[in-house]
Amino acid sequence: EPEVTQTPSHQVTQMGQEVILRCVPISNHLYFYWYRQILGQKVEFLVSFYNNEISEKSEIFDDQFSVERPDGSNFTLKIRSTKLEDSAMYFCASSDGDTEDHNYGYTFGSGTRLTVV
Amino acid sequence: AQTVTQSQPEMSVQEAETVTLSCTYDTSESDYYLFWYKQPPSRQMILVIRQEAYKQQNATENRFSVNFQKAAKSFSLKISDSQLGDAAMYFCAYRRGRTERDDKIIFGKGTRLHILP
């Protein structure tokens, strides 16, 4: 079964450093998402991306965040200057956007645990 | 704005027994999808079951079934014959309807399910 792949599984970074979280969505999917889950809390939407641009972003997704699809296969989330409160699990997801197929095709990756120290 | 509420932070059930997890949601939309996701200790998000709002018939997947009450905006998950592997955090989630191809999923805060041997 096709998977969404995220790397690394765990990243530790110092406060103020830049990090890039990487995702490889399912190959025929067209819509891409990042979600965040602070430990013990609910999963929150960060951003959706379609046709090489952001479709929607949440209040969390401020100027320190950016997303990119650099090469047609990877989908990255960059945090420019990490803060302690950015420590969380970050999930990538992708969707084929086919609303006629009741499978919806919305698939999550296994997540990257980001620890900011 | 759409919201999803899970009022039970934790629940316990004896192995082989049946347990029901509650979820209510708020939306002004008439067409939408509802989901239950399972998050085991590995933190991966696993789709358990989904329900289209336009379908009156409750979805079932093996030991998992839902009780979808559209008028009451209620969407509970029933797990029959509970197994040790069912122990996890369960998230109820909502996604806007079929005319919107890409849209975020909104999660509840989760219910941690313990299975007692």
* A47, A57 Cβ separation under 8 angstroms: yes
Say if CB B3 and CB B96 are below 8 A apart: no
pLDDT of residue B102: 60
Q: What is d(CA A28, CA B41) in angstroms, rounded to the nearest whole number?
A: 29
SS3 content of chain A, % helix, strand, coil (to 5): 5, 50, 50
Mention every residue, 6+ apart, whose C-beta is less than 8 A from residue B71. none
Tokens of residue B44, six digits: 């991966």
Q: How many Å apart are CA B81 and CA A19, to the nearest integer?
A: 44
Q: Provide the pLDDT for residue B42.
A: 83
**Predicted pLDDT at B98:** 61
pLDDT number for residue A104:
59
pLDDT at residue A86, rounded to an integer: 97
pLDDT of chain B, 117 residues: tens digit per residue: 789 999 999 999 999 999 999 999 999 988 889 999 999 988 888 899 999 898 889 999 999 999 999 999 999 999 999 999 999 999 999 988 765 556 789 999 999 999 999
Which of B37, B103, B112 has the most A C-beta neighbours within 10 Å, making it the best mutation to test the interface with A?
B103
User: B95, A44: Cβ pair inside 8 Å?
Assistant: no
**A49 alpha-carbon distance from chain centroid:** 10
Question: What's the rounded Cα separation, in Å, for the pair B9 and B6?
Answer: 7
Nearest to B69, CA basis, from B60, B61, B58: B58
**Residue in B42, B45, B103 nearest the CB of A91:** B45
Interface contact B33-A104, CB threshold 8 A: yes
Number of Cβ pairs closer than 8 Å across A and B?
Answer: 56
Predicted confidence (pLDDT) per residue in A37-86, tens digit: 998 788 999 999 988 899 999 999 999 999 999 887 899 999 999 999 99
Instruction: Give the C-alpha separation, B67 to B30, whole Å.
Output: 18
Rounded CA-CA distance B27/A102 in Å is 21
Report whether pLDDT(A1) > 80. no
